[in-house]
Structure 1
Amino acid sequence: MLIAFGGLPGTGKTTVSQALARRLPAAYVRIDTLEQAFMGSGEGRTDVGPLGYLAGYAVANDNLRLGLTVVADSVNSLDVTRSAWRNVALKAGVRIFEIELICADTTTHRLRVEGRTADIPGHKLPTWKGVCERQYDPWDSEHLVIDTANVSVEHAVETIIHHLSTSPPDIRTS
């Protein structure tokens, strides 16, 4: 199964997706890590465009074909990236479970964004202004939404586990 996370920076995607990957256990693919590796490759890149996502799709596909569950951690803010994750699952012959994390409390969200420190060497975190101005397409596919403003990481993981066990076993492509 492919478990694809999405949500604006500061909503808790990395924290929740890592906890879920440990709990399952599952392979973990983080787009920020891949993007930073491209930028740190010595070629002086400051913008890698879609390279991080393209690498993420390939790594996820490799692991899915090995029979592993994959947890994909990315902002996943565009229809095109969400569709691409669904295509990865379809090509690998596995189902996809999509999760959007939000933080409905603007003050809490802003404090998270402004109070974070990068856990990837050299990674430049977005500003609150950057988060607010980011293009974020509405979701048009079936997905689980979790508001992290008032739930613990453990509660979020339990909610996901519950939904994973009750969701239909078919491959969802819409």
Structure 2
Amino acid sequence: MKKTALLLGLLVLALTGAFTKASAQTFRGLDKSPMDMAYYPDDYAHDRKFAPAKIGSDKLVARVTYTRPAKNGREVFGKLVPYGKVWRAGANEAPEIKFYQDVTIGGKKIPAGSYALLTIPNETEWTIILSSDLDQWGAYSYNQALDIARVNVPVQKSEAAIENFSIQFAKKDAKNATMYVGWDTTMVAVPVGL
């Protein structure tokens, strides 16, 4: 009887150990550039959760999913991000912008759908690119033939340095919004017609 109990106990321990080893999972650490989302209307997700009645008049128009690298004392534009070359607008994967309705970007008609958001930064203006090539890492596989639209917008200087790359929408009027893209002391304002 003692041998049976001992054998049963050892069997349980062995099975428990095997289960623990088989189910153990390791996760990689936090990404240096965290992922974020920007909505139009701004704070749409927050407002929908806490004030659902408000949403009826402000339908979701756009959402951008992007990563936010930090300046970390580096010279960003012209150095870390070269002028005149296609850039993924952030870090890691190229941002994905989803329009829930047809819009215009800089006067160009954009059908509802999801697009990669890329840019070509220069000192005085940026080219904003919407591409149908989603899920690309960086801009290494960029193919201009897949562009849906290109719009040039002037560069503005921000009053204070923006530590983390940022995208935010703001309402201009009932028919127009602005998508702000900024990092370091550089900012661009992209007109969005609703």
| TM-score range normalised by the length of the shorter chain | under 0.3
Q: Which has the larger radius of gyration?
A: 2
Higher RCO by CA contacts (8 Å cutoff, separation 6 or greater):
1
Task: Tell me the TM-score normalized by structure 2.
Answer: 0.21
